[in-house]
Amino acid sequence: MTQDPHRPEGRPVALISGGSRGIGRATVLRLAEDGYDVSFCYHSRPEAAELLAKEAEALGARVLAERVDVSQAAPVRAWVARTEQELGPVEVAVTSAGITRDKAMVMMSDEDWGSVVATNLDGVFHVCRSVGFSMMKRRSGSIVNISSVAGVHGNATQTNYAASKAGIIGFSRSLAKEIGRYGVRVNVVAPGFIDTDMVAAVSEKARGAALATVALGRMGTPEEVAELVGFLAGNRAGYITGSVFQIDGGIVL
């Protein structure tokens, strides 16, 4: 965690997309507890975002919560600009916004494909592009992009989701090589079977089948993923970039 030289007594700023639930929510709280001011965006459930903002403020953070469609470039640019104006330069960016539209590929509609890729992959591009120049100019920053083990191994009925998450890995490795010389690190966290709202929507039979592939025999928690994100965000991971970290309980697909 690096203090901004122009704000010696302030807290560094972390920006989290998809912050109101699941892994994003846990990350907001983890980084607030670690000493960051936090700006997070959400797409729905404003009441959950409001509650989260209060929890982060109780941890000592200044908080900005914005409703943003990350699949669109202009709203992301505006959100990042407001963050920098109200909180200060973004030191850490975490891209956690993601959706699923699971279906057999031959039955998948154009909308099923396009909406998942636009949110999961285009959204990462929009956030990284919006924060990247400022980080490069200051020669300081850490980006943590949330992928999935589906992007590493693939998964039936998730060709759209797996493609978007695999794209995040290729994008992040390339970006790490591109901007590392400016002191900016880019890493990927690829969670496995995590106890989130997204997983709760899966049938009990499907959850049981998935758990059978996990060596530890249980789902992970959003907080466990957030611990890894928090480590990669800070100075303890200062010589780590371009890497993909699976946090999956020893999943075997």
**CA–CA distance, 73 with 130 (Å, rounded to integer):** 9
CA distances from 250 to 149, 165, 193, 216 (A): 11, 19, 10, 7
**CA–CA distance, 82 with 78 (Å, rounded to integer):** 6
Order of strands across the sheet that contains 244-247: 63-67, 37-42, 13-17, 90-95, 141-146, 184-191, 244-247
| 36, 42, 161, 182: the active-site residue | 161
**CA–CA distance, 38 with 113 (Å, rounded to integer):** 31
**CA–CA distance, 58 with 33 (Å, rounded to integer):** 9
161 is catalytic: yes
- Bridge partner list, 247: 191
CA distances from 52 to 22, 26, 69, 134, 228 (A): 11, 10, 19, 27, 20
**CA–CA distance, 107 with 114 (Å, rounded to integer):** 14
Please spell the DSSP secondary structure of 17-59, one letter per residue. ETTTSHHHHHHHHHHHHTT-EEEEEESS-HHHHHHHHHHHHHT
- Phi, psi (degrees; rounded to nearest 5) at 62: -80, 140
Radius of gyration of the chain (CA): 17
Q: Catalytic site residues? A: 161
